[in-house]
Amino acid sequence: MSSTIRHRPPRAGSIAARLGQSRVASRLEGEVRVTAADLVDCVAEARLKVAAVRYKVEGEVRNKAEKLKSRVSVAAEKLGDEARFIKSWIDDPLRTGSVTPSSPALARRMASYVDPEQPGPVIEIGPGTGPVTEALIERGVDEERLILVEYSPEFCELLRKRFPRATVVQGDAYALSTTLAGHLTEKAAALVSSLPLFNRPPPSRTALAKEAFPLMVEGAPFIQFTYSVISPIPRKGSGLKAFVSDWVLRNIPPARVWVYREAS
């Protein structure tokens, strides 16, 4: 009885060796290599896409954070200005006249009546915390041309910080010639007033206008806002021609702007 001896084939070290180095085996091995390489490339591409998306998201988050920070800063500054106005009104309501600064809409309306191409300084009386001053600069009036007459020492200090190139004069606007002595070297192109004129009697308001116009070039405007329905500067016998705007409703309370010029 013969015994059958089974010979085991030698163990191959590769797919091709196990299948006898056939063409099919070579093809399969090549496809495996290509597939592995494609897989590596796909993973690398996916990582790049993830990094790009992450960078974009982080950039958007940073931008939104910066915008939010800026808005918070502006809101805090606005609240600070309103607090200053309330304090100033409590200390001297006849001089402050309002518990809030002028709104940007009202400030822009007032500044719109100033011609930035007209040479000469621009006088602003009663600037407070500077909303109209900012609007004048946005209008195109160079900051160095601005002469700001403010009675409150606290507001003067704030104005000097916010508008370092402007001339800030602490003094009484109702004695304008005396207050501006040594500061006004040429006739002004315009005068913009945020004074609470109705806190003063009519003769005082008339006297302010009569003192202001000789300090300005011919045809220059005297610009004044008011919450009232009537002219803040008495018209009768003033020798002034006047224009009044429509109501600026985006101000609390709503206000109008009066523009006075000397009648020719």
pLDDT for position 54: 74
Q: Is pLDDT above 60 for 20?
A: no
Lowest average pLDDT, out of 94-103, 135-144, 167-176, goes to 94-103
Residue 192's pLDDT band, with cuts at 50, 70 and 90, is very high
190-193 vs 146-150, strand pairing mode = unpaired
Residue 89's pLDDT band, with cuts at 50, 70 and 90, is very low
pLDDT for position 212: 98
Rg, the chain, Cα only:
38
Residue 99's pLDDT band, with cuts at 50, 70 and 90, is very low
Give the tokens for residue 51. 């990094």
Element (H or E) spanning 149, and its range?
strand 146-150
pLDDT for position 96: 45
pLDDT for position 25: 61
| Distance, CA of 193 to CA of 183 (rounded, Å) | 18
Give the tokens for residue 191. 């005068």
List the 222-226 sheet strands across, edge first: 167-170, 146-150, 122-125, 190-193, 222-226, 256-262, 240-244
Alpha helices, DSSP H only, in 92-152?
93-96, 104-111, 131-139
State the average pLDDT over residues 93-97: 48
The contacts of residue 194 (CB under 8 Å, 6+ apart) are 102, 110, 124, 125, 126, 127, 128, 132, 225
Answer left, alpha or beta for residue 217, where phi above 0 means left and psi between -120 and 50 means alpha: beta
Give the tokens for residue 153. 């020492």
Between these two residues, 84 and 127, which has the higher pLDDT value?
A: 127
State the average pLDDT over residues 98-108: 80
Domain 98-262 CATH assignment equals 3.40.50.150: yes
In the block, tokens 């045809």 appear at: 219
- Rounded to the nearest integer, the mean pLDDT of the chain is 83
Element (H or E) spanning 253, and its range?
none
Please give the model's pTM, rounded to 2 decimal places: 0.65
| pLDDT 10s digits, 33-64 | 667 667 777 777 778 777 777 777 766 766 76
| pLDDT 10s digits, 107-144 | 999 999 999 999 999 999 999 999 999 999 999 999 99
Closest CA to 119 of 144, 99, 154: 144
The domains of the chain are located at 23-91, 98-262
Q: Is pLDDT above 60 for 238?
A: yes
| Distance, CA of 145 to CA of 127 (rounded, Å) | 15
Residue 148's pLDDT band, with cuts at 50, 70 and 90, is very high
